[in-house]
Structure 1
Amino acid sequence: MLVVEDDPTVAEVVTGYLSRAGYATDHAADGFAALDRAASFRPHLIVLDLMLPGLDGLEVCRRLRRREEGPSVPVVMLTARGEEADRIAGLELGADDYVTKPFSPRELVLRIGSVLRRAEAAPPAAAPAQILRVGDLSADPGGRRAIRAGRELTLTSREFDLLLHFMRHPGRVFSREELLQQVWGWEIGDLSTVTVHVRRLREKIEADPAAPRLVMTVWGAGYRFDPVADEPQPEDGPPAGGGPLAGGGLRP
């Protein structure tokens, strides 16, 4: 695990708590050193401070995500900035979670553990998880891989969890509060976290993110995964299976 923090006192506290929790840790004090360390060994998770000398945490996250292939390294941002715009900027760059200073080291360890469990989750060997498919989109829960049109998608652990949740519950509307509880495991949290992750997921799985056909917004209610809408429809006549009300109602 890589801790990127320029304040030596904070770095010592964070690495100390993580070590006592059983995690092997390395430390980088600035953005350039963080990128070098991440390139020399692939950490299981990066604790990334936002305010860093050289390159700030947002730019470090941007460069990490740009050069990744396959599953993303989970990132938990650690920052003194509490403004919503800063949190959203980190989430849009692919951060999996954030903790705002001043923080409880115990809470940070718990949040890191939650992110790692989701990133490393695998089904029991005796009951392999079924690969989910919708058109040319597939998701493998065991391998934590998503593929569309023959190309593997680069998803963060939270984006992959969100995709699985949608694909396992097609046609059901989830509010942002429900998604925060069921995907993130948070009873209380910033609902913009869900909004940003839905936006990022659409950018990766939709043919046209500005006119989504898979992850639909249900105004005033939440989001619905609508797999039938992404399937080719005959040029003449109604969709197969009935008229406009087939499948449970009119589509937005």
Structure 2
Amino acid sequence: MKTIYCVEDDAGIRELITLALSAADFEVYGFEDAKGFYDEIKKKIPDLVLLDLMLPKVDGMTILRDMKKEMDYKDIPVIILTAKSMELDKVRGLESGADDFITKPFGVLELLARVKAVLRRYGKNGQNGSETDITEYNGLILDYQKRNLSYNGTSISLTFKEFELLHFLMLNKGIVLSRDKILQEIWGYDYEGETRTVDMHIKTIRQKLESAGCINFISTVRSAGYKLEEQ
């Protein structure tokens, strides 16, 4: 049984999420603030975290960033819950390592679909997945099994989704991949036209590669998508 932690200060929403996910055979723990969450995650690491941004004392973005700094927690998938619909919140969350976001109010079916999609994706391609290949490209070495990426010996840290996206591009070098195709492959379901998500992840991947001294190999094909140039 998969374990899900829900950090949400609104008792009504927290109860709704707990009931809905429990009915779908998930083990769910709810927390109204960061303290309870931090205390519990030290005892048991969950399979997924649902994280509200607007929390008392310690906000959700701080919790997310703290998680991504910790070796034991950095690979836990996180879905952001937010009442805000501003693009900036989505960008900040995704750039900080979130895997998805749900804007309130949301329906139970949408919640279940997104939770299952993220867990399915991690189950297929996570650290315990079946892929063991090492992919090389112009000085980049991507070890899929160990989840390591380096450029000419310099280690590069990517979020789960950034790693998956770069791996997908490396496996399909020279092929133009549409944003919809990338969303379907990396996020695993219809992302309701949020193709801006791909653009944001490509941007952060480029920045991290360039910081390691790697030139930009990822080309933007206007009105089509992205591709990794042939060697």
Tell me the TM-score normalised to structure 1 length. Answer: 0.77
Partner deviation per Cα, 1:56-85 (whole Å, 9 max, x = no partner): 111111221123368621100011111111
- Kindly indicate whether residue 167 of structure 2 is the aligned counterpart of residue 164 of structure 1: yes
2:79 match = 76
Length, aligned pairs only = 224
2:183 match = 180
Which residue among 94, 97, 112 is the counterpart of 1:94?
97
2:201 match = 197
Rounded to whole Å, the distance in 2 between the matches of 1:202 and 1:55 is 31
1:118 match = 121
Q: Any conservation in 1 of the 2:142–2:167 contact (CA below 8 Å)?
A: yes
Q: Any conservation in 2 of the 1:118–1:161 contact (CA below 8 Å)?
A: no
DSSP 3-state at the match of 2:76: coil
DSSP 3-state at the match of 1:147: strand
Q: Which has the larger radius of gyration?
A: 1
Q: Any conservation in 1 of the 2:154–2:212 contact (CA below 8 Å)?
A: no
Q: Any conservation in 1 of the 2:117–2:189 contact (CA below 8 Å)?
A: no
The residue identity in structure 2 corresponding to 1:164 is H
- Kindly indicate whether residue 54 of structure 2 is the aligned counterpart of residue 51 of structure 1: yes
Q: Any conservation in 2 of the 1:68–1:154 contact (CA below 8 Å)?
A: no
Q: Any conservation in 2 of the 1:6–1:52 contact (CA below 8 Å)?
A: yes
DSSP 3-state at the match of 1:76: strand
Partner deviation per Cα, 1:221-247 (whole Å, 9 max, x = no partner): 32211362xxxxxxxxxxxxxxxxxxx
Which residue among 144, 148, 151 is the counterpart of 2:150?
148
The residue identity in structure 2 corresponding to 1:192 is R
Runs of 5+ unmatched residues, structure 1: 229-252
Runs of 4+ residues deviating >6 angstroms: none
Cα deviation for residue 113 of structure 1 reads: 1.1
- The root-mean-square deviation of aligned C-alpha atoms, in Å, is 2.8
The residue identity in structure 2 corresponding to 1:146 is N
Rounded to whole Å, the distance in 2 between the matches of 1:186 and 1:118 is 10
Rounded to whole Å, the distance in 1 between the matches of 2:73 and 2:213 is 25
Q: Any conservation in 2 of the 1:88–1:196 contact (CA below 8 Å)?
A: yes
Runs of 5+ unmatched residues, structure 2: none
Q: Relative to structure 1, is the Cα distance of residues 138 and 117 closer, same or farther in structure 2, using a 3 angstrom cutoff? A: farther
- Kindly indicate whether residue 48 of structure 2 is the aligned counterpart of residue 36 of structure 1: no
Which residue among 224, 227, 230 is the counterpart of 1:221?
224
- Kindly indicate whether residue 134 of structure 2 is the aligned counterpart of residue 138 of structure 1: no
1:250 match = none
Cα deviation for residue 49 of structure 1 reads: 0.7
Partner deviation per Cα, 1:121-178 (whole Å, 9 max, x = no partner): 159x9x865332224433344x361331556654333222212211110011223233
